[in-house]
């Protein structure tokens, strides 16, 4: 009996193990890009309506200063009013008409269509951002000036992390001193590192045509680029409080003309360049982004634009930014709610650590705001991984560890599915009445292992005894090893030799071949 039954049981177990080890279809994975959040709502309906009304009051009564001449033409042509004080004011009807006409869905393309992101409703995506000026060296526990190679390495690491869905420039290539060359090399380094969607900015409007030409070469022609623009413009079109950033607005106009999606980024700092109350900071950010939405749609109706209410929090004792605070987490979640109030694709900042290194402080700061942003249904969670020292430092190892952290955040975003199967009455009955009295090894448990639960790649869930027997592995050391493994492997995003040669013949590329 043993000889005839054991192989059958073993074969069944082996088959189940093989099935569990095989990659799941995307729709069966417990976490993935674009899960719908929105379960967390710090603002009531009446509070959101009050914020909306206050934003309309600010736009109608205060308006924005310092619009470029071209912007004044676009805005007044759409129905805005230029006052004798030089401020552009926005009638309520103009704002409401713009909201009604604006895109409800924006697709941010990757060079690889598998990485396309659909921004709508409460669909959540996590990625990088921040433009840090230092790289964090976890080995020496020091900060140094960030370089183009550091940026390229960040792109390559991002390309291999399932829970980092897009790459917005997380650090600045400080070793490229000419601004035009820095902008071009930023585009090159990011695109050569990842096939996910990329966000970047441009220093001057005159640099945009060269960047577009570079992107046309990468895409295989202007028509291919316009059909699937895989880079968007991160545009700080305002200087809070309530002023247009003249040169950035001109950059935005050039990017729209070139077919590039735009992130309308309003980054006031509560208590400094935005009101200290969290509600007031949201009002100002919403007002500024609504003005930006009018601007974009006056240039090209329906152009893909992300509503980037991106206010930060200050530590009012010192005036320093406190991106890892509970107030920042609330502020970002409230902004996410306002995006859904307008039914507009939006993004904001979360995952920032004030901590200088990937330590316990960084863990709680990054987790708190990432979970709350996702639960609030924020479409684009920027700065979600790798950012330290209130955006002054970026850390490759922290980016890798952040992938695990965001995996857990995404599981919270997904929530709890309640169905006839998941309430489990029949399974409870079979287990308790004549069954083994536990659920270990049951068909339901085995079937749910991969679809209901998320398993971190680096977090240590061993017992103290096992941890000791394994040599007390260190989390950061494991991340260092993973970083080296990724960077020593070939990049899947590299350009073909002919394209790369054409790019290098046309532009001063600083990265070695």
CATH number of the domain enclosing 314: 3.20.20.480
Sign of torsion over alpha carbons 170, 413, 409, 356:
positive
The backbone region for 163, taken as left when phi is positive above 0, alpha when psi lies in -120 to 50, beta otherwise, is alpha
Do 196 and 90 lie in one domain? The reply is: no
Tell whether 252 and 311 lie within a shared domain. Answer: yes
Which pLDDT does position 2 carry in this prediction? 36
Q: For 402, phi and psi rounded to 5 degrees?
A: -60, -30
Same-domain pairing of 260 and 339: yes
**pLDDT for 4:** 36
Residue 292 within a domain:
yes
Q: Alpha-carbon distance 353 to 387, whole Å? A: 6
How far apart CA 199 and CA 233 sit, in angstroms, is 6
Same domain, 146 and 281: yes
Same domain, 319 and 354: yes
269, 373: one domain: yes
- pLDDT score for 448: 86
pTM (predicted TM-score): 0.93
Predicted local distance difference test score (pLDDT) of residue 31: 80
Q: How far apart are CA 481 and CA 489, in angstroms?
A: 13
Q: How many domains does the chain have?
A: 2
Q: Is the dihedral of CA 361, 364, 368, 369 positive or negative?
A: positive
HSE-CB for 483 with a 13 A CA cutoff: 23
Unique residue bearing structure tokens 């749910």 = 448
| Whole-number pLDDT of residue 13 | 54
On whether residue 31 sits in a domain, the answer given is no
User: What is the Cα–Cα distance from 19 to 17, expressed in whole angstroms?
Assistant: 5
Considering the domain architecture, whether residues 83 and 116 belong to the same structural domain is answered as no
Looking at the structure, tell me whether residues 183 and 303 fall in a common domain: yes
In a domain, 25, yes or no: no
Dist. CA 248–CA 352, nearest whole Å:
25
Instruction: Judge if 64 and 142 occupy the same domain.
Output: no
With respect to residue 6, please indicate whether it lies within any of the assigned structural domains: no
Rounded to whole angstroms, how far apart are CA atoms 269 and 313? Answer: 6
- Which of 414, 430, 460 finishes a domain? 414
Same domain, 230 and 289: yes
Low-confidence residues in the chain, pLDDT < 50: 1-11
Domain span at 60 = 45-98
> What residues are paired with 197 via a beta bridge?
166
141 and 61 together in one domain: no
Name, in order, each residue with C-beta under 8 angstroms of 67's C-beta and a sequence gap of 6 or more: 75, 88, 244, 246, 249
- Of 360, 383, 414, the last residue of a domain is 414
How far is Cα 6 from Cα 67, in angstroms, rounded to an integer? 79
Q: Among 65, 98, 131, identify where a domain stops.
A: 98
Give percent helix, percent strand, percent coil of the chain, each to the nearest 5.
Answer: 45, 15, 40
8 Å CB contact between 129 and 234: yes
The answer to the question of residue 492 being in a domain is no
Planar angle of CA 53, 54, 57, nearest 5 degrees: 90
**In 3D, which of 25, 95, 110, 33 has the Cα closest to residue 63?**
95
**502 occurs within a structural domain:** no
Structural tokens at position 312:
């930060």
Residue 37 located in a structural domain? no
Examine the domain organization and report whether 77 and 191 are in the same domain: no
Q: Is residue 49 part of a domain?
A: yes
């Amino acid at each position: 009996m043993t000889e005839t039954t054991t192989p059958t049981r073993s074969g069944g177990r082996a088959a189940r193990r093989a099935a569990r080890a095989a990659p799941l279809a995307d729709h069966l994975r417990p976490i993935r890009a674009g899960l719908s959040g929105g379960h967390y709502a710090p603002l009531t309906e009446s509070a959101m309506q009050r914020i909306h009304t206050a934003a309309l009051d600010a736009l109608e009564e205060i308006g924005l200063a310092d619009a470029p001449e071209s912007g004044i033409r676009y805005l007044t042509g759409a129905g805005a009013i230029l006052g004798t004080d030089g401020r552009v004011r926005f009638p309520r009807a103009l704002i409401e008409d713009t909201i009604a006409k604006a895109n409800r869905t924006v697709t941010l393309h990757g060079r690889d269509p598998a990485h396309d992101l659909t921004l709508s409703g409460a669909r959540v995506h996590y990625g990088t951002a921040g433009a840090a000026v230092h790289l964090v060296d976890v080995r020496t526990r020091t900060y140094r000036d960030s370089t183009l190679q550091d940026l390229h390495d960040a792109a390559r690491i991002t390309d291999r992390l399932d829970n980092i869905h897009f790459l917005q420039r997380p650090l600045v290539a400080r070793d490229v001193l000419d601004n035009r060359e820095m902008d071009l090399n930023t585009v090159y380094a990011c695109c050569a590192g990842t096939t996910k969607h990329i966000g970047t900015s441009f220093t001057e409007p005159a640099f945009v045509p060269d960047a577009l030409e570079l992107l046309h070469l990468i895409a295989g022609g202007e028509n291919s680029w316009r059909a699937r623009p895989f880079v968007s413009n991160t545009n700080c079109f305002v200087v809070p409080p309530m002023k247009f950033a003249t040169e950035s607005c001109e950059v935005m106009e050039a990017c729209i003309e070139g077919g590039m999606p735009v992130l309308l980024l309003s980054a006031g700092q509560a208590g400094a360049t935005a009101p200290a109350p969290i509600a007031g900071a949201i009002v100002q950010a919403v007002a500024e982004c609504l003005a930006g939405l009018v601007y974009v749609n006056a240039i090209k109706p329906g152009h893909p634009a992300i509503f980037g209410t991106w206010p930060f929090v200050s530590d009012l004792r010192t005036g320093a930014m406190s991106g890892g605070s509970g107030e920042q987490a609330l502020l970002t979640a409230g902004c996410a709610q306002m995006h859904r109030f307008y039914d507009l694709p939006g993004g904001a900042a979360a995952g920032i650590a004030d901590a200088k290194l990937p330590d316990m402080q960084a863990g709680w700061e990054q987790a708190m705001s990432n979970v709350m942003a996702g639960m609030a249904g924020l479409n684009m969670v920027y700065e979600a991984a790798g950012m330290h020292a209130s955006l002054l430092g970026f850390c490759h190892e922290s980016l890798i560890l952040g992938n695990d952290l965001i995996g857990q955040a995404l599981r919270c975003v997904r929530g709890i599915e309640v169905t006839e199967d998941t309430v489990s009455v029949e399974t409870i009955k079979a287990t308790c009445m004549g069954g083994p009295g536990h659920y270990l090894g049951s068909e339901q448990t085995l079937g749910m292992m991969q679809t209901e639960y998320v398993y971190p790649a680096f977090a240590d869930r061993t017992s103290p005894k096992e941890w000791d027997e394994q040599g007390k592995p260190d989390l950061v050391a494991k991340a260092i090893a993973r970083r080296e493994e990724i960077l020593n492997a070939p990049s899947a995003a590299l350009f073909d030799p002919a394209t790369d040669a054409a790019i290098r013949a046309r532009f001063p590329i600083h990265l070695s071949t």
